Amino acid sequence: MLNVSVVECKKRLFEILKTQAFFKGDFTLSSGKKSNYYLDARLVTLSPEGAFLCGKLILDLVQDKKPTAIGGPTLGADPMVGAVGTVSFLEKRPVKTFIIRKEPKGHGKGRMVEGPELKADDTIVVIDDVATTGKAFIHSIDALAADGLKPAVCVCIIDRQDGAKEALATRGVEFRSLFTAKEFLA
C-alpha cells in the first residue's frame, strides 16, 4: 500500500472520515463553541488504515518544507505522530517525532516537548487532527518557542474554518489542511 497514489489515499481517507467520524447533532467543541456537527477524527486516526493514510498524506502535504521533525499536541496528534514516523521510515525519509504536553511534566526534566531533542536548525511541522480556533496549535507554538524553536508550518486533517488559519497567521506560521469542514457538509 506504500505505492498507492496520494489521490487514492486522500479519496479513501475522506470516505472513511465521512462514514466513521462525521456526526450531526448538538455538540460543544473543545473551543467551547456550539456546533451542529462533530468530526471525531480519532475514530479514524486510531485505526490501522486511518493512521497509515494520515501519515502518508501529511508527509506528502509538507514534502516541500523538507521536514526534519513532526509532532503535535497530545491527544489529537498522538496517533498521527506514530503513523508519520513509521511511514517516513518506510519511505526512507525518516523524521524525528515529538508530542507536546498540555502542561510541563511534574517530575524528571519537567519538559513540555517529549521526544528526541529538537534543534534550531530542524524544520518543524506541527500536526493535529481537527482545527477550530487554533488553540492547540497556539499552545504548541508557545511550547516550542520556550525551547527557542518555531514551526515552519502547522497541518491538520480537517480545518473547521473557524479561525485557526487567522490565529496562526498572527504568529507568522503557515497553516495547511488535508480537508475543510465545508467538504464534509457538502
CATH code (residue 61): 3.40.50.2020
> Residue 21: inside a domain, yes or no?
no
Per-residue pLDDT of the chain (186 residues; tens, 9 = 90+): 668 899 999 999 999 999 999 999 999 988 788 999 999 999 999 999 999 999 999 999 999 999 999 999 999 999 999 999 999 999 999 999 999 999 887 777 778 999 999 999 999 999 999 999 999 999 999 999 999 999 999 999 999 999 999 999 999 999 999 999 999 999
The answer to whether position 77 is within a domain reads yes
Residue 102 lies in a domain: yes
Domain range enclosing 137:
55-185
Within-domain flag for 153? yes
Closest CA to 69 of 116, 101, 129: 116
Residue 90 belongs to a domain: yes
Nearest to 134 by CA among 83, 73, 185, 82: 73
Residue 176 domain-assigned (yes or no): yes
Q: What dihedral angle (degrees, nearest 10) is formed by the CA atoms of 70, 62, 175, 172?
A: 80
Give SS3 for 167: helix
Given this model, what pLDDT does residue 104 score?
82
Name the average pLDDT for the chain.
95
How many domains are contained in the chain? 1
Indicate whether 161 belongs to any domain: yes
